[in-house]
């Protein structure tokens, strides 16, 4: 158990809809990362937050947004969903943004868009 909690584990929705994925980092971790895993693209970095502030942006679509709340949990919002958004979405956390350490991953939220 990594200590990172993601909900929901599975989500099935229709094109055009909006969903919210939730992540609780390990206790004490300030940094949260969101990754998208798909068969054709591999593991793609989306966005990083550190102590409530956005720190880095990767290949995140404009239809997607995220935030980190004062209690350090994070939410990833996906809107105007398309079939191609079907993927496994991972949240990971780490201690500090300057750390050389590893990331701790949740078990992912599997999104299926029909």
Partner 1 sequence: AQSVAQPEDQVNVAEGNPLTVKCTYSVSGNPYLFWYVQYPNRGLQFLLKYITGDNLVKGSYGFEAEFNKSQTSFHLKKPSALVSDSALYFCAVRDGSYIPTFGRGTSLIVHP
Distance (Å, whole) CA 47 – CA 91? 10
25 — alpha (psi -120 to 50), left (phi > 0) or beta?
beta
Figure out which of the listed residues 27, 70, 71, 101 binds partner 1, where binding follows CB under 8 A. 101
Choices 14-22, 61-69, 74-82, 100-108 (CB under 8 A): range interacting with partner 1:
100-108
Q: By CB under 8 A, how many residues form the interface with partner 1?
A: 25
86 is an interface residue for partner 1 by CB under 8 A = no
25 is an interface residue for partner 1 by CB under 8 A = no
84 SS3 class? helix
Distance (Å, whole) CA 31 – CA 58? 15
In angstroms, give the least distance from the CB of 111 to partner 1: 14
């Amino acid at each position: 158990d990594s200590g990172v909690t993601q909900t929901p584990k599975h989500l099935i929705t229709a094109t055009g809809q909006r969903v919210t994925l939730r992540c609780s980092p390990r206790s004490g971790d300030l940094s949260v990362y969101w990754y998208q895993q798909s068969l054709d693209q591999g593991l793609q970095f989306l966005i990083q937050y550190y102590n409530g502030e956005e720190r880095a942006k990767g290949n995140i679509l404009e239809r997607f947004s995220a935030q980190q709340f004062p209690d350090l949990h994070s939410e990833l919002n996906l809107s105007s969903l398309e079939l191609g958004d079907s993927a496994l979405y991972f949240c990971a956390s780490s201690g500090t943004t300057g750390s050389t350490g590893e990331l701790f991953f949740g078990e992912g939220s599997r999104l299926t868009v029909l």
